[in-house]
Structures are given as C-alpha cells and as structure tokens.
Structure 1
Amino acid sequence: MIQIENLSKSFTLHNQGGARIQVMAGASFDVAAGECVALTGQSGAGKSTLMRMIYGNYLADSGSVKIAGVELVGAEPRDVLALRRDRLGYVSQFLRVVPRVPTLEVVAEPLLAVAIERQVALARARDLLERLRIPRTLWALSPTTFSGGEQQRVNIARGFAHPYPAMLLDEPTASLDATNRETVLGLIEEAKARGTAIVGIFHDEAARDRVADREIDVTRFTPGMAA
C-alpha cells in the first residue's frame, strides 16, 4: 500500500553560503494494508523529514513514494491534493483550520470532500467528537478558540473521519490523558482492522508496542548517523 524506495533529501542553507546538507539517503521500505510501521531513531535522525516527504510537504531529491500505486515524487500539485483527499490521511500534532468554521464541520470536512452525503458525514463527526470527549456545547464553535488538548482531539477526530487506505500519524497520543489515549489507540486498531496502512511516530513506547507491527530505525538512512 505504501512503497518507499531509495528516497533521498538534502537542504540548502542559503544563510551559510548555499551549503547543502544531506539529511536522508536510500530510505526504502514497504507498508502493507492493515500494517502499522513505527519510525524510530534518535532526535534529528529524520523521522519528521521522512514523514513530510511521504505526505509531499517536502520534495524528495530522488527516489520513489507510492501510495496505493500512485507515484508522489514529481507529481503535479493537483494530483498530490487528490491523493490526500482520497487515499492518504495525516494526523499531525497541530490543528490547522479556517477560522470561524464550526468544529462539527471541521471534523466532517474530509468526508464532504469525497462527496459523502452530508447527514452521513455529520453523523460520523458527531460520533468521533463524542468518543474523544469534546463537549457538545463546543461543536458549534470554531476549534481555534479551544485549549491545546481539545484542539488535539478535534484534529484526531478529523484525521480519522474518512477511512483512508493509508495514514500518517505524528505523535497521536502525545499529551493525552489515559482515557483519551485509550480511545485513540482504539481508533488506530480499527483503522488497521479495515486495512489501512499506517506509518507513525510514537514517542509513547507503550502505545508503539501496542499498535506497531514493526519498527524502522530511520538512523540507518541518515548520513553521519548510521552505525
């Protein structure tokens, strides 16, 4: 479902005379449908960089990223957006939404974007907000006014609204209390059961041990860090 082959990335430091720093070279691995792979490695090893390349936020210097057979490296922006709409979900650590849009609409939006009937989309959004313990009194308000923890849970609800074939998870249980952490782990297990391929970063070792089928140490793809 997710195929990474010989992926490389470097950054140009324009404020240091145009020096180029290679941060990743030769990253290769596959993630099967229904499998969760955890990216591990010391701080600075490139876990977030690799995640952003898979999502298309960073352009790879070379190599291949295929999601459900669709090549992402070198793809047109409209094709990247279509892939994100239909096949590739991303739960980041931060909620980024248009101000003044009600929380219920924010969570339902990924379903509405793929032409799911409005009432069905809103019902799914309500279910997720209930499960993640966002008070009903907040559903008609913009989540931009919420606390950090509430925004994180709205972000998770939005990320799991649509049954994407592939998902990227960046610290999905960070800063959650035990009850909401359990709910999120349950959502991940449900996604795996329906065949979603998942790549995740989990600093919560217990969460990683529970949901990840295997780990990939990104350090081996990082020049200067590989043993």
Structure 2
Amino acid sequence: MILIENLSKSFTLHNQGGAVISVMEGAALSVARGECVALAGPSGAGKSTLMRMIWGNYRAASGVIRVAGLDVAQAAPREIIALRRATLGYVSQFLRVVPRVPCLRVVAEPLLALGVPEAAALTRAADLLGQLNIPERLWPLSPTTFSGGEQQRVNIARGFAHPFPVLLLDEPTASLDARNREVVLALIEAAKARGAAIVGIFHDDAARARLCDLEIDVTRFTPAKAA
C-alpha cells in the first residue's frame, strides 16, 4: 500500500541567500496491508518530514512515494486531494478545524465528504466520540474551545471515522490518560485487523512495541554532511 524508493528532500532558505539544505537522502520504506511501521529517531531526525511527504504537504526533491498506486511525489494537487478523501487518513498532533463547526460534524466530515448519508455519518461520529469519552454535552460545541486532550481525541475520532486503507499517525497516544490511551490502541489494532497500512510516530515505547511490526530509524536517511 505504501512504497517509498530513493526519496530525498531539501529545503531552500530564501532568507539566507537561497542556501539549499539537504535533510533526507535515499529513504526507502514499504508498508503492506495490515502492517504498522514506526518511524524512529531523535527529535529533528526527519520523522515528521517523511510523514508530511507521504501526506503530500512537502514536495520531494527526487524519488518515489507510492500510496495505493499513486506516486504522491509526482501527483497533481487534485489527485492528492482525492487520495486523502477516500484512501489516505492522517491523525496529526494538532486539531485544525473551521471555528464554530460543532464537534459532531467535525468528526463526521470525512464521511459526509464521501457522500455518506448525514444520519449515518453523525451516528458513526457519535459512536466514536462516545468511545473516546468526549461528553455528549460537548458535541454541539466547537472543539476549538476544548482542552488539549479533548482536541486530540476529537482528532483521533475524525481520523478513524472512515475506514481509510492507509493511515498516518503522529503520536496518537501523546497526552492521553490510561483509559483513553487503551481506546486509541484498540482502534489502531482494529484498523490493522481490517487491513489498513499504517505509518506512525510513537514516542510511547509500550504502544510502539504492541502495535508495530517494524521500526525504521530515519537517521539512516540523514545526509552525511547534515549528520
């Protein structure tokens, strides 16, 4: 479901005379259906950079990023948007939503975008919010007013509303208490069981050991001159 070959990334520092900094070279990775691969390495090693390239937010300098048959490194924006709508889900650390949209609709939005009937989409959203212990009294409110932990759980609910075949997870258990952490781990295990291919950043050692089939140290892709 995910195949990365000979991937490289550089950043141009326009405010420093156009200096080009190479941050990744020769990255390679494959993730099959039902497999979870962890990106490991110290802060600044390139874990988030690699994740954002798979998502299509960062353009690769060279190489292949094939997700469900589409080479994200070469794809047009409309192709990436279509991939995100139906195939590629992303649970980031931070919730970014339009203000004043009710929590329930925020979670249901991925389903509504796919044409799922409103009643069914809202029912699925309510089920996930219930599982993640978001009080029902908060569902009509904008999650922009919620605590950090509540926002993270809304983000997770939104990411799992549709059964995406490919999932990117950026520290999905960070800041969660034991009860909600267990719910999230169970959701990830269920996604693996249905065949989702997952790439994740897990600073939670126990979660990584429980969920992941393979660990990739991204420092192996750091250019020697930047090491």
The TM-score, its normalising length taken from structure 1, stands at 0.98
In structure 2, the partner of 1:171 is 171
The 5-angstrom pairing of residues 71-220 of structure 1 reads 71-220=71-220
| Cα offset, 1:224, TM superposition | 2.7
Shift, 1:38, TM fit: 0.1
Task: Give the Å deviation of 1:160.
Answer: 0.5
146-155 or 14-23, which moves further after superposition?
A: 14-23
Deviations along 1:29-49, one digit per CA (max 9) or x if unpaired, are: 110000000000122110000
Instruction: Tell whether the 8 Å contact from 2:22 to 2:226 is kept in structure 1 after alignment.
Output: no
RMSD: 1.2
1:90-112: CA deviation from partner (whole Å, max 9, x where unpaired): 00000000111110000000011
Q: Confirm or deny: 8 A CA contact 2:23 2:226 kept in the other structure.
A: no
Matched residues in 2 for 1:120 and 1:195: separation?
Answer: 23
Q: Does the 8 Å CA contact 1:88/1:164 hold for their aligned counterparts? A: yes
State the Cα distance separating 1:225 from its structure 2 match. Answer: 8.0
Q: Is this contact kept in 1: 2:4–2:29, CA < 8 A? A: yes
Alpha-carbon separation, structure 2, partners of 1:88 and 1:169: 11
The answer to whether the Cα contact below 8 Å between 1:49 and 1:58 also exists between their aligned partners in 2 is: yes
SS in 2 for 1:45: coil
1:221 CA drift (Å): 0.5
Amino acid corresponding to residue 217 of structure 2 in structure 1: D
Give me the whole-angstrom Cα distance separating, in 2, the residues matched to 1:96 and 1:176.
18
> Which letter maps to 2:190?
E
The answer to whether the 8 A contact 1:128-1:161 is kept is: yes
Q: Whole-Å Cα distance in 2 between the matches of residues 222 and 74 of structure 1?
A: 22
When normalised by structure 2's length, the TM-score is: 0.98
Question: Hey, which bits of structure 1, 4+ residues long, moved more than 4 A?
Answer: none
Name the counterpart of 1:28.
Answer: 28
Distance across 2 between alignment mates of 1:225 and 1:174: 32
Gaps of at least 5 residues in structure 2 are: none
**Larger deviation, residues 209-218 vs 70-79:** 70-79
The answer to whether the Cα contact below 8 Å between 2:56 and 2:80 also exists between their aligned partners in 1 is yes
Q: Secondary structure at the match of 1:23?
A: strand
- 1:39/1:216 contact within 8 Å kept: yes
Distance 1:141 1:170, change over 3 A: same
Q: 1:101 to 1:158 in 2, by over 3 A?
A: same
**Partner Cα distance (1:15, 1:33) in 2:** 43
Q: Aligned to 2:104, what secondary structure does the other structure show?
A: helix
- Specify the SS of the correspondent of 2:11: strand
2:48 maps to which residue?
48
Secondary structure of 1:78's aligned partner: helix
Q: How many residues align?
A: 227
Deviation at 1:117, TM superposition (A): 1.6
- Matches of 1:19 and 1:102, distance apart in 2: 44
Query: Which SS does the other structure have where 2:183 is aligned?
Result: helix
Report the CA distance between 1:226 and its aligned residue. Answer: 9.3
Q: What's the CA shift string for 1:72-105, capped at 9, x where partnerless?
A: 1121111110000010000000000011111000
Paired with 1:68 and 1:129, the residues of 2 have a C-alpha distance of 29
* Equivalent AA in structure 2 for residue 152 of structure 1: Q
